[in-house]
């Protein structure tokens, strides 16, 4: 069996450059499919847990909120060593760096961040519920977005045997169907030429029960001289302990990791070209592709852990992709453009840092001493170019892809008005840890508007915030988007002092450009040359216009359509700030604008800086943007979720009625054995409280999940009423907007 490793052994193995014995992977699944329970057995195997606690303690759910709710909220990182029982003479153990991730859609951002630092993924599926919506999302994130090679563990087979009383043949058919479904998803999105699949016959699929602590692969059955039917016999005999002792769950999971998930060097060859946008032929590029510990230091911060037991001090977790990270290093953050000193360097063991003096490429790490947004690229501060232009050209890792958007809001306000600045600091810290949430300050009410994926995510965040600064919390509100559907005419406006003028028009972004911005391929931190190259090659932009992007913000573009413009540098920052402030709340109902391209074709800027302050630039910008948007046929768009329900046969009519009642659309109704799978789409506004309706309609026997589908145009029959309702809630005039509010800013030649 595996020996319990002391800290010195762990540090030695992390520091080792024997990549063949290293695996970094994520365990991911739909909510309640058993990830954390399964993780207990890996911890037991490593000697971190007593035999009797495995499957009960759920050790990686260390947070009090997780324990109270019975769900995983935050990714836990743990290191364990594993001596392969098939090679007893091998003196060097394997070291596994494991991410146990949440399954609830509210916390899918944790999954995305964990996968960025991983090379492989254990996809876990409940044998009874089968492939659910979040399973599909996680496979897409793991295989399609992050190129993490998958293996499959089909859990809760005990339920098929003891609850449903299925025959061995029916059980095998159910397991085979799940494997086929998973493979269909993998084949659609796997890296070109990879040939990735999961296959029980090739030992990349395991089946078992985390609750009862047993599992097997085909190889293990052959070694033990057993047949799958023997498991049924042990259940008939009531001898689950025999299964736990003779087919321990950790063995098949760990063997799949060793045999099928890649080591860091193997994975780097195909992952780096996908997740890093720099020159692969450069010294740095070659080092990254080789996961070279002797190359320049380059890595990424993938997770921020704010420990409630340590006054929410930040621990940064990430991955070294090139070079070696030493505990004496200072690092430069490419996005923040700041240098930061590291106070502690080590690896994460659930909630504690185990200090390690050096961590080479091909490892996760944990550091302490400062905070930055998760997703930051870093390098050794000694390697930062002196030239500012070269600094701006430093290549970053690609933006982490998230499956959801922030579509539900709540207002939060400090109980003590003097705490408004403190509240901003606290909220900002939490949003650096979880960029799937957003916030902004409503300057009129002095309330922060906190937006998240769904009410549960906001509930968790507001509880954490309230622990640090007492707040009043508003009711959940759906966040809409405002988009234009045609090109406006030109609008010529003047500043409030009449000394500055702007000529501009507005048009909808084309679909290709919207996707480029949404994926993070271009952003406001990139230089204009890099932006232009992507827009030309992937969206067919004119070469000249593509070089004139002034700002990229929340799915919108500000473009300089002038030539030979004087004094523009003086007001550029003001114009960008005005553009961003206006986009945060556009003209229909002060909801965020998206998919908008603003092009100014002339600017007259007064020669005296005293007449070109922010307020002057903002007044002519706001009026021009607002009138142009009204002319460009704006509409309100609502967030829509895909809902996936598995309900017992005979109860599906109730589910269909609920979907239809809530402005939903049924997409598919498919019988699946004793269940019926109903898939549909619903506006997010209609999802609040729908879980109770589904449970009531099906006597609590349905399984369901949902995922973000996108923003769809609000039906014409309710659009105006909804706009007026939102305006009333926000204290705005309860009437549709018109140009009269801004006409005084129109410039007319005398």
pLDDT, tens digit, 9 for 90 and up, residues 243-296: 999 999 989 998 999 999 999 999 999 999 999 988 999 999 999 999 999 999
Give the chain's end-to-end CA distance (angstroms, integer): 91
pLDDT, tens digit, 9 for 90 and up, residues 555-566: 999 999 998 788
Unique residue bearing structure tokens 């909120």: 65
Let me know if 123 is exposed, middle or buried by CB neighbors in 10 A (0-12, 13-18, 19+). Answer: buried
Unique residue bearing structure tokens 């295989």: 143
Q: What's the Cα-to-Cα distance from 435 to each of 90, 107, 420, rounded to whole Å?
A: 43, 11, 21
pLDDT at 735 over 50: yes
- Domain range list for the chain: 7-262, 272-392, 408-479, 483-632+734-745, 638-714
Same fold? 408-479, 638-714:
yes
CATH among 2.30.30.40, 3.30.70.240, 3.30.1600.10, 3.40.50.2300 for 638-714: 3.30.70.240
pLDDT of residue 46: 54
Would you place residue 54 in the very low, low, confident or very high pLDDT band (cuts 50, 70, 90)?
very low
**What are the φ and ψ backbone dihedral angles of 95, each rounded to 5 degrees?**
-120, 125
> Of 104-113, 303-312, 444-453, 708-717, where does the model show the most confidence?
708-717
pLDDT, tens digit, 9 for 90 and up, residues 139-168: 999 999 999 999 999 999 999 998 889 999
Q: Which fold has domain 272-392?
A: Elongation Factor Tu (Ef-tu); domain 3 (2.40.30)
pLDDT of residue 6: 59
Q: Per CATH, is 408-479 categorized as 3.10.129.10? A: no
Q: What pTM does this model have?
A: 0.81
CATH number of this structure's domain 483-632+734-745: 3.30.230.10
What's the CA gap between 370 and 355, in Å, rounded?
17
Question: Can you count the helices (H) and strands (E) in the chain?
Answer: 24, 32
pLDDT, tens digit, 9 for 90 and up, residues 296-322: 999 999 988 888 778 888 889 999 999
Q: In CATH, what is the architecture of 7-262?
A: 3-Layer(aba) Sandwich (3.40)
Strands 675-683 and 665-672 come out as antiparallel
pLDDT, tens digit, 9 for 90 and up, residues 335-386: 888 999 999 998 887 777 888 999 999 999 999 888 998 899 999 999 999 8
How confident is the prediction for the chain on average, in pLDDT?
A: 88
pLDDT at 622 over 90: yes
What's the CA gap between 456 and 73, in Å, rounded?
10
Give the SS3 label for residue 591.
coil
Q: Pull the structure tokens for residue 181.
A: 């479904």
Element (H, E) at 302: strand 298-307
């Amino acid at each position: 069996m595996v020996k319990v490793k002391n800290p010195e052994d762990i540090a030695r193995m992390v520091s080792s450059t024997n990549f063949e014995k290293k695996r970094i992977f994520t365990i991911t699944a739909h909510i309640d499919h058993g990830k954390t329970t399964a993780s207990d057995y890996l911890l037991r195997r490593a000697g971190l847990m007593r035999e009797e606690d495995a499957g009960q303690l759920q050790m990686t759910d260390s947070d009090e909120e997780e324990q109270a709710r019975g769900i995983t909220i935050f990714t836990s990182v743990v290191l364990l060593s594993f001596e392969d029982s098939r090679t007893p003479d091998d003196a060097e153990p394997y070291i596994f760096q494991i991410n146990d991730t949440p399954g609830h859609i509210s916390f899918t951002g944790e999954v995305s961040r964990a996968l960025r630092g991983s090379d492989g993924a254990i996809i876990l599926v409940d044998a009874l519920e089968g492939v659910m919506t979040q399973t599909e999302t996680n496979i897409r994130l793991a295989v399609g977005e992050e190129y993490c090679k998958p293996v499959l563990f089909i859990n809760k087979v005990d339920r098929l045997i003891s609850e449903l009383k299925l025959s061995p043949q029916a059980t095998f058919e159910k397991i085979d169907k799940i494997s086929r479904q998973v493979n269909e998803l993998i084949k659609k999105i796997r890296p070109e030429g990879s040939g990735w699949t999961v296959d029980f016959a090739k030992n990349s699929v395991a089946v078992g029960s985390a609750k009862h602590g047993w599992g097997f692969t085909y190889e293990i059955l052959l070694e033990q001289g057993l047949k799958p039917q023997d498991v049924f016999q042990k259940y008939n005999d009531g001898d689950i302990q025999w299964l736990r002792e003779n087919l321990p769950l950790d063995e098949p999971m760990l063997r799949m990791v060793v045999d099928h998930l890649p080591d860091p060097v193997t994975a780097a060859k195909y992952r780096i070209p996908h997740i890093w946008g720099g020159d692969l032929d450069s010294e740095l590029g070659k080092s990254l592709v080789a996961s070279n510990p002797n190359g320049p230091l380059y890595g990424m911060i993938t997770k921020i852990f704010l420990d409630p037991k340590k006054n929410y001090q930040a621990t940064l977790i990430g991955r070294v992709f090139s070079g070696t990270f030493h505990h004496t290093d200072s690092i430069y953050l490419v996005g923040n453009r700041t240098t930061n000193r590291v106070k502690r360097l080590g690896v994460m063991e659930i909630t504690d840092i185990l200090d390690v003096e050096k961590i080479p490429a091909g490892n996760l790490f944990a550091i302490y001493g400062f905070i930055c947004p998760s997703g930051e690229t870093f390098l050794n501060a000694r390697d930062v170019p002196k030239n500012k232009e070269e600094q701006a050209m430093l290549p970053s890792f690609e933006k982490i892809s998230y499956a959801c958007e922030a579509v539900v809001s709540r207002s939060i306000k400090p109980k003590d008005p003097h705490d408004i600045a403190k509240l901003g600091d606290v909220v900002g810290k939490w949003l650096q840890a979880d960029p799937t949430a957003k916030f902004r300050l409503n300057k009129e009410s002095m309330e922060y508007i906190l937006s998240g994926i769904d009410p549960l995510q906001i509930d968790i965040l507001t509880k954490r915030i309230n622990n640090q600064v007492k707040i009043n919390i508003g009711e959940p509100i759906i966040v809409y988007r405002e988009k234009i559907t045609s090109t406006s005419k030109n609008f010529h406006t003047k500043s409030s002092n009449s000394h500055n003028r702007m000529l501009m028009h507005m048009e909808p972004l084309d679909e290709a450009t919207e996707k480029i911005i949404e994926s993070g391929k271009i952003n406001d931190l990139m230089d204009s040359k890099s932006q232009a190259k992507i827009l030309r090659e992937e969206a067919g932009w004119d070469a000249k216009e593509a070089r004139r992007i002034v700002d990229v913000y929340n799915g919108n573009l500000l473009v300089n359509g002038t030539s030979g413009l004087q004094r523009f540098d003086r007001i550029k920052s003001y114009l960008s700030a005005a553009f961003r402030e206006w986009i945060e709340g556009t003209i229909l109902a002060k909801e965020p604008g998206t998919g908008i391209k603003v092009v100014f074709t002339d600017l007259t800027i007064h020669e005296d800086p005293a007449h070109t302050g922010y307020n002057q630039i903002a007044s002519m910008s706001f009026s021009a943007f607002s009138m142009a948007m009204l002319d460009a046929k704006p509409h309100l768009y609502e967030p829509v979720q895909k809902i996936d329900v598995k309900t017992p046969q005979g109860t599906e009519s109730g589910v269909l009625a609920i979907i239809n009642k809530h402005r939903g659309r049924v997409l598919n109704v498919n019988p699946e054995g004793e269940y019926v799978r109903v898939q549909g789409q619903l506006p997010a506004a209609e999802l609040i409280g729908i879980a109770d309706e589904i449970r009531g309609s099906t006597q609590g026997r349905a399984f369901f999940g949902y995922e973000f589908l996108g923003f769809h145009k609000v039906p014409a029959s309710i659009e105006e009423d909804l706009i007026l309702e939102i305006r009333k809630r926000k204290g705005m005039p309860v009437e549709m907007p018109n140009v009269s509010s801004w006409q005084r800013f129109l410039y007319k030649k005398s």
